[in-house]
Structure formats: C-alpha cells, structure tokens
C-alpha cells in the first residue's frame, strides 16, 4: 500500500513529525532524527577520542516523497504523488506511461537535492566539532535506480550500469590526492581504506584494494557486481509465484568490470558476454585479441566459480547475525 499510494505514507510521516515537534517547519519525510542524533553524539564524545560515524540516508530510495514537502493539509488541486509499487510493475499489471516515468524522475531529482542538503548539514556540524583535516569522509551508495531501462524500475533485478555503478566519494588530506581514480573502485575497497586511515592492521579476509593505490594505477583484478534476481523470500506470497519463478531463474547475473570492458555472466545459460564500459578516467586503449581472450578465459573461470558458490549456498549463507542487522536497516532478507 505504501508503494501504490505513497501520498498516504507521506501524510502520515508529516503528521507524526508535526505532533512530535509542533513548532518545527515541515522537513524531510525520511528519518529526520539523524541530524539531531549526530549533533548530540558530536557534543557528548570527548574531542580527543577517535570517533566513527556511519549514517544511512534513505532519501534516494523509493518511495520518493515530494521535496520540498507539501502542506500538511494542502488546498484542493495540489498534485498527488505518482504510483510506485514495483511488485505490480514486476508482474506487468502496472506499466507506467510516459507521464508517470517523468514524474518519477522529477521526484527522484528532488530527493537527490534533499540528500545533498542533508550531507552538507552533517559535514558542517562535524567540522564545527572535529578537525576535517584529520577525518576520513566516505560518501557512497549500495545501488542505483532504474527508470525504465530494460523495462524495469527501481532496483534488485538488472545489471544495467545505472544500478551497478554508484557514486564513491572519498576525502582525507595527506592520504588521498584530489581527482578521479584511474582504476575501477568498489565498495569492497572501503574497509581496507578505513583501516589504513585509522592506522589499524586489517583483519579478516578483505578482497578490497586501497583507494589511495587506485588513484594512480589500474586495478590489477576485476571489480565484481551481482544481480541476484528478485528476492524470493521478500516477495514470496506477494508477487505471482509463476512470475517469481520465471524472473528468479532468468535474471541471476554476475558482472565483472575490467579495463574498458564489462563482462556479464548469465547463471542460467552459463554464457559470458562482453560490452564496452570505459570508465571516465581510463584512456580507452583497445586490447589486443590475445589480451581479450586471456581476459575472457580468466573471468569466465572466476564467474563459474562464483556461480557454483551462489547455487550451492544461496541465501542460506547469510548468518542470523547478518540477517538481523540487514533487517534492522530496512532490508527484506
């Protein structure tokens, strides 16, 4: 219901905020408690004590709300929000027309602007209490969004670049020089980079690279990404079982980015396909046929190995602790 009638959720959120803080003006509808909580932490933690803060902002996630927020009780004629129920779009019972797609893009741009303002506020609050010259700042996302590419909306079920290639902005004077990375970067690179910045030896089996190394050299190994199909456990009993079986069997794909190529391995057909995916900072020099064949053989072997692991373990490889943590973050696992 939230996704089919998002305006109801927006109204309920605005009403709850107004009841809790009657004097405050209408603000963002997504987790407004984050900023005051951060300010309280910054105020209470001693300045000489190391501090790690992780903020999970959901503004750019569907359902998209209106930015700026409307009046709590708007006058007649106020435009209503567009339908956003991805489950009916998956089943094909809702096919958004051009006007709805345009409205979704407009709502998304508004939420991105809201996200920009919130990030600016948080960094300003942090800079007043802490020394930004000795602070590692990382801004990234777990996935992008689709707006009609390959016939899909939102996320979870495609290997389109709009979903896989997310922003990764890092700043730490003295450790990271300015500019764009030369090699492909990945979310798996965050942990070793944080350990390096903190001066703590990395523990565990981290496959990532230091972001500082990628600034000046190509990545020596591919960046891997995954389209896990529709999350069957999340949609079981909601989406038509026939559609669910069809999509989960056909849309499991593994993707590798290396150099100027994007390799896509389909788990159902066990075929590997290559497409151009040149990063903005790469020089785009074409590889020789022999180099491409060597890359194909190497990536195919790795993709088949990962495929076997996915088929063998599936969602059962997620521990109870990880599952509880993901659910606490709002993920339906």
Torsion, Cα 109 111 116 119, to 10 degrees, reads -160
pLDDT band at 249 (very low <50, low <70, confident <90, very high): very low
pTM of the model: 0.80
Residue-wise pLDDT for 108-147, tens only, equals 998 899 899 999 999 999 999 999 888 999 999 988 998 8
Residue 5 has pLDDT above 70, yes or no: yes
At residue 67, the pLDDT reads 77
Q: Is residue 82 part of a domain?
A: yes
Q: Is residue 89 part of a domain?
A: yes
At residue 281, the pLDDT reads 38
pLDDT band at 25 (very low <50, low <70, confident <90, very high): low
At residue 282, the pLDDT reads 38
Residue-wise pLDDT for 259-290, tens only, equals 888 999 887 788 898 887 654 433 444 557 78
Q: What percent of the chain has pLDDT over 90?
A: 21
Specify the range with the lowest mean pLDDT, choosing from 23-37, 71-85, 162-176.
71-85
At residue 44, the pLDDT reads 95
At residue 49, the pLDDT reads 92
Kind and range of the H or E element at 128? helix 98-129
Query: Could you tell me which residues are beta bridge partners of residue 264?
Result: 255, 273
Q: Is residue 187 part of a domain?
A: no
pLDDT band at 333 (very low <50, low <70, confident <90, very high): very low
pLDDT (average), residues 68-89 = 69
Q: Is residue 214 part of a domain?
A: no
Q: Are 62 and 86 in contact (CB under 8 A)?
A: yes
pLDDT band at 40 (very low <50, low <70, confident <90, very high): very high
pLDDT, the chain, mean: 79
pLDDT band at 183 (very low <50, low <70, confident <90, very high): confident
C-alpha 319/C-alpha 325 separation (Å) is 10
pLDDT band at 39 (very low <50, low <70, confident <90, very high): very high
Kind and range of the H or E element at 255? strand 252-258
At residue 306, the pLDDT reads 78
pLDDT (average), residues 172-192 = 88
Residue 172 has pLDDT above 70, yes or no: yes
Q: Is residue 268 part of a domain?
A: no
Q: Is residue 168 part of a domain?
A: no
Residue-wise pLDDT for 205-244, tens only, equals 677 899 999 998 889 889 988 775 655 555 555 556 555 5
Beta strands 271-276 and 168-171 are unpaired
- The runs of H, that is alpha helices, within 190-288 are 190-198, 211-214, 232-235, 241-250
C-alpha 267/C-alpha 310 separation (Å) is 9
Q: Is residue 3 part of a domain?
A: yes
Specify the range with the lowest mean pLDDT, choosing from 16-20, 81-85, 270-274, 326-330.
326-330
Q: Is residue 318 part of a domain?
A: no
At residue 291, the pLDDT reads 78
C-alpha 157/C-alpha 247 separation (Å) is 8
Q: Which domain holds residue 125?
A: 1-135
At residue 226, the pLDDT reads 79
Residue 257 has pLDDT above 90, yes or no: yes
What's the number of domains the chain is made of?
A: 1
Residue 315 has pLDDT above 80, yes or no: no
Q: Are 224 and 254 in contact (CB under 8 A)?
A: yes
Residue 73 has pLDDT above 70, yes or no: no
Residue-wise pLDDT for 80-110, tens only, equals 688 888 878 877 888 899 999 998 999 999 8
């Amino acid at each position: 219901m939230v996704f089919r009638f998002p305006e109801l959720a927006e109204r309920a959120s605005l009403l709850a905020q107004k009841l809790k803080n009657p004097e405050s003006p209408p603000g963002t509808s997504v987790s407004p408690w984050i900023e005051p909580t951060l300010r309280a932490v910054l105020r209470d933690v001693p300045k000489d004590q190391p501090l790690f803060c992780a903020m999970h902002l959901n503004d750019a996630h569907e359902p998209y709300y209106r930015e700026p927020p409307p009046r709590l009780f708007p006058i007649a004629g106020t435009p209503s929000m567009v339908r956003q129920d991805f489950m009916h779009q998956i089943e094909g019972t809702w096919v958004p027309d051009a006007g709805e797609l345009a409205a979704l893009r407009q709502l998304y741009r508004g939420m991105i602007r809201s996200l920009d303002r919130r990030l600016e506020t948080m960094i300003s609050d942090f800079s007043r209490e802490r020394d930004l010259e000795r602070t590692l700042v990382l801004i990234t996302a777990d996935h992008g969004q689709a707006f009609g590419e390959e016939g899909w909306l939102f996320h979870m079920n495609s290997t389109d670049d709009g979903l896989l290639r997310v922003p990764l902005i890092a700043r730490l004077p003295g450790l990271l020089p300015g500019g764009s990375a030369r090699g492909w970067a990945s979310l798996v690179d965050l942990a070793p980079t944080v350990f390096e910045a903190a001066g703590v030896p990395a523990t565990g089996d981290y496959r990532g690279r230091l972001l500082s190394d990628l600034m000046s050299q190509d990545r020596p190994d591919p960046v891997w990404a995954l389209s896990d199909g529709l999350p069957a456990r999340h949609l079981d009993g909601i989406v038509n079982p026939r559609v669910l079986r069809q999509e989960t069997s056909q849309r499991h794909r593994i993707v590798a980015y290396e150099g100027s190529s994007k390799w896509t391995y389909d788990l159902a057909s066990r075929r590997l396909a290559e497409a151009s995916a040149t990063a903005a900072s790469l020089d785009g020099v074409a590889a020789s046929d022999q180099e491409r064949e060597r890359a194909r053989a190497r990536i195919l072997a790795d993709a088949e190995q990962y495929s076997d692991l996915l088929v063998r373990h599936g969602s059962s490889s997620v521990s109870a602790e990880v599952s509880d943590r993901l659910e606490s973050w709002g993920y339906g696992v």
